[in-house]
Structure 1
């Protein structure tokens, strides 16, 4: 390796995520880990320039999201008690006072979860999704001021997307992963009417509830924005043959929508006129990836969270009329450039794969294949301190999008379902072939690592192609589908059937796909990382991996974070994790 990892230090830049404008556009609230754990901060905005941000006391637990109420009186906040997955919804005044729990578990151990969806625009009413321990979801309207609760819909694998301003109509999403559809329900007791077939996921309603705006790939390969008049025919608002609609935001007055397009991993923005029709592009944003986009009440201003490989996630404002961008909060870019190269190469069956290549230097050296989670997710050119740490230690990184990844159309995303997953495992081997053939990797010093589904795929690749890998890192990955289905959250298990297979009907397939049953082929030293509060992929998966590897004499280290769940949220733990990975690769890829 180029240098001893022990001589290098890690300084993680702080990030800003999920920004929300105040109704008067005089301040922006956002989630930042600048003091070590994700909390809410408020940045005042003035004509003389932005004043110093202040932290808002939301309690000791990590924060996931924040949203300003349309009347300016409240902040809605999602928090993660203990760093786990059983979230709560709180409301508090923008100055941090009058904090009150609106929804979510209070018992220990926690059961169920709650997430806010959006303010409805009527008074201080918030639309909340409450997930029970059994996996059913309730859509609840909660008055943050009075505490009044009104359940408007309930059912398994259901998610409330929107409600009209007068609370007379709700937009609801139903179905498992890859098979979701939208319906509309008249409130309080009207029957649901289906709007669009699978797959549809994000949705919004016009203020009067007469038109639903839906991100959908129904009848097409790539997701587009569809306007669906209730009782009418669908109309295409915007679509592109070269890109997928990544996200969109409709102004509260229903006049305009901001569209964020995913173009081979990078973002482009457009504005759609929802009254007269038509779209117009905005200038390219000063970042590669936009992870959050929300509009001001009048649709004149957008608040964005954006990042690039050398620029941590920060807050931007965009004037939609002029297309000007203003940076208002966030840490500075790195003093040195991190170059992410988009590469394309064929899988063994001819399917084109892509990935982001980070070269540590010229010539062939140690290289890590990093596999993202999901699998319906996408590796994109974002700010990744782990990659920076490995590059500093002389380790190149290929972060591929194997089949099953999103962002490349429905056919590509479905190309790993059920028995097709064996081809996704083959894709990992083809990634090794690419980096070796391109002169990036020394074939004797290639590692594989990933988190969540990427952790599963790492284990599967290590036992399917043991001759290719010198070391492995499994971060909260599934090892045995039978134990995963038995121990994960009920709603996750139900939603996963369309992706992985039915635990009863497809028992033999899932057994063959489970890497734990092939650990007699494991040879690569393995670092296993997990959060003790993880209920998405329960910690039992990691315990099985450690026990099986140790029993077979494979070198194994187990790193367990007691105060983290499926995501590592606290900065100190992130540093510990990165150092552990760098040390592991230094030890085994010298």
Structure 2
């Protein structure tokens, strides 16, 4: 008997731990759907809620000097975050009040007197770097941005900021910004590179951070700001390092590396052969946070069968912190969860394409299981071994699931990441067709009942599949996908236009490609019934994309159902929205597969 679709919405999570200044408290985010700021004792006891927004809290940062907290909330998922400051013993105070402006938190000054952040209040096309004096609210605009900027770190002496310019999915530029003069200096590099988790060293002479400069994969490197030279600190063969944290005493290094979609946590003395940490859910680790005494490491861990929770490492031993049963309100038995397995297939040009495959519990019905191919967004993203309530819901409903990481996905090196750009985008669709053929050949699968589902860029893949590969797909679900690359680039958030065009192509230059790959031009070929879901506050893929594809399908009397959501952004966060989404998706696939 399938689990009721609304039960999946009530699964809770706990993430983003941060120790208090004295190490006795862990601030964190918890909840189902709209996580809020909480505090608990460092052993997991005495939980208390600190924020009470009717919105999702998007991030949480503690001041390095004391226990003041800053977090961010937007309005209905529109990504125009405002900052909220909470001082111990006080009520939360909203310190930005410009609901049409994106505020991207960057860094505290070491003394906690100021914050650095990016915002687009001057011109929504550009992110500027600003400072705010927290005592007075006074603001200074240091740098008028050339594009999308973030501020990952403030130097220990308070004189410089590290700034990352996000030029494209495969090209970030690293700048050093003088806090006094506003002068910006570009850190040299020999070729395009990515940068992430960049922080000043304790003495302020260099930067430590993740980069694929001079390499195929992301490595933890020491970066000389004067010359740009990147010296590897930790570089596992054939894997991205995706997170790192050095203990406050500078002696113990924690890293997370990406092993084909699984996370490997290593903790040990800096400069030694650090062991992998065992005893964790087989899945994903994130949000590394050291205690002030450098003894304990808090982090988030999850797996396909384990919702996100907070764990502690100490002296080589890991344990989960006590918390309420995340499945209690949902009433779901964890024994029903299914862990996908890694699979591969060969695409048209010999490229090996990875993916995850899961079958429902029990024997296959006569003729085989119906199945759904689920495609991630991005495209610079990766389906991982994390907890996905929607995937478990599909499995509960009796559908097998294949989750491909077609070319353009992260986690497999720079060449694979770049393999779908601009004119090479049809190659990714060939990867999808090869994956569908692999799935149809599995003895437990009914080759005549294969559907497809995807979100954002994955939604474009869905629409491209039913228009360009109509004979392959029996039913389709498109979450806020791209119907026309020309109208997307006209209407997406202005700050994103050039960034996305560097990935997809530019209007006027790549019009022939856009006509070839934009689903709106091939609607006549659609055979599969299509479910379309979209929110009216989506800043990335505006609702116009779904409006026009639905109108085109209806004009041609194709089978289409349109679920429009009020007060929803690029993703369905609110519990009442998710109840509708899960019910609609299950109904669509049960009816048509």
Deviations 1:133-175 (A, max 9, x none): 5321122232334323333333123222211022211111122
- 2:341 maps to which residue? 341
The change in CA–CA distance for 1:83 and 1:191 in structure 2 (over 3 A counts) is: closer
Residues 294 and 304, structure 1, Cα contact 8 Å, conserved in 2: yes
- The correspondence of residues 68-147 of structure 1 with structure 2, limited to 5 A, is 68-94=62-88, 97-103=90-96, 105-106=98-99, 110=100, 112-132=101-121, 133-147=123-137
Using the alignment, how far apart are the partners of 2:219 and 2:320 within structure 1?
Answer: 28
Q: 2:257 pairs with 250, 257, 261, which one?
A: 261
- The correspondence of residues 354-393 of structure 1 with structure 2, limited to 5 A, is 354-360=354-360, 361-363=362-364, 364-393=368-397
Q: 1:553 pairs with 548, 557, 571, which one?
A: 557
Residue 351 (structure 1) shift = 0.5
SS at match of 1:280: coil
Using the alignment, how far apart are the partners of 2:409 and 2:460 within structure 1?
Answer: 14
Residue 249 (structure 1) shift = 2.8
Deviations 1:397-425 (A, max 9, x none): 11110110000000111110011110111
Residue 488 (structure 1) shift = 0.7
Residue 313 (structure 1) shift = 0.9
Using the alignment, how far apart are the partners of 1:177 and 1:6 within structure 2?
Answer: 38
Mean CA deviation greater in 335-344 or 218-227: 335-344
Task: Point out where structure 2 has 5 or more consecutive residues left out of the alignment.
Answer: 328-333
Using the alignment, how far apart are the partners of 1:253 and 1:456 within structure 2?
Answer: 48
Task: Point out where structure 1 has 5 or more consecutive residues left out of the alignment.
Answer: none
Q: 1:308 pairs with 292, 298, 303, which one?
A: 303
TM-score normalised by length of structure 2: 0.92
Using the alignment, how far apart are the partners of 1:74 and 1:113 within structure 2?
Answer: 22
- 2:41 maps to which residue? 44
- 1:168 maps to which residue? 159
Residues 45 and 322, structure 2, Cα contact 8 Å, conserved in 1: no
Residue 195 (structure 1) shift = 4.1
| RMSD across aligned positions (CA) | 2.2
Q: Confirm whether residue 583 of structure 1 aligns to residue 580 of structure 2.
A: no
Using the alignment, how far apart are the partners of 2:324 and 2:102 within structure 1?
Answer: 30
Deviations 1:72-99 (A, max 9, x none): 331111101233221111111355x332
The change in CA–CA distance for 1:7 and 1:500 in structure 2 (over 3 A counts) is: closer
Using the alignment, how far apart are the partners of 2:111 and 2:423 within structure 1?
Answer: 48
Using the alignment, how far apart are the partners of 1:330 and 1:371 within structure 2?
Answer: 32
Using the alignment, how far apart are the partners of 1:199 and 1:211 within structure 2?
Answer: 18
The change in CA–CA distance for 1:151 and 1:393 in structure 2 (over 3 A counts) is: same
Residues 535 and 564, structure 2, Cα contact 8 Å, conserved in 1: yes
Residue 431 (structure 1) shift = 1.3
- The correspondence of residues 150-299 of structure 1 with structure 2, limited to 5 A, is 150-155=140-145, 156-174=147-165, 175-189=167-181, 190-196=183-189, 197-202=191-196, 203-231=198-226, 233-251=229-247, 256-271=252-267, 277-284=271-278, 286-287=280-281, 288-299=283-294
Residue 123 (structure 1) shift = 2.4
Q: Confirm whether residue 480 of structure 1 aligns to residue 488 of structure 2.
A: no
Using the alignment, how far apart are the partners of 1:499 and 1:357 within structure 2?
Answer: 28
SS at match of 2:476: strand
- The correspondence of residues 433-448 of structure 1 with structure 2, limited to 5 A, is 433-448=437-452
Residues 265 and 285, structure 2, Cα contact 8 Å, conserved in 1: no
Using the alignment, how far apart are the partners of 2:30 and 2:168 within structure 1?
Answer: 32
SS at match of 2:419: helix
Residue 318 (structure 1) shift = 1.8
Mean CA deviation greater in 346-355 or 446-455: 346-355
Deviations 1:178-219 (A, max 9, x none): 111213233322440414442122111113421111211122
SS at match of 1:382: coil
Residue 293 (structure 1) shift = 2.1
- The correspondence of residues 56-71 of structure 1 with structure 2, limited to 5 A, is 56-71=50-65
Q: 2:435 pairs with 422, 425, 431, which one?
A: 431
TM-score normalised by length of structure 1: 0.92
Deviations 1:502-555 (A, max 9, x none): 122212212222111111111111110111111111111111121111111111
SS at match of 2:418: helix
The change in CA–CA distance for 1:373 and 1:581 in structure 2 (over 3 A counts) is: same
Residues 227 and 235, structure 1, Cα contact 8 Å, conserved in 2: yes
Residue 120 (structure 1) shift = 2.8
Residues 84 and 94, structure 2, Cα contact 8 Å, conserved in 1: yes
SS at match of 1:366: strand
SS at match of 1:581: helix
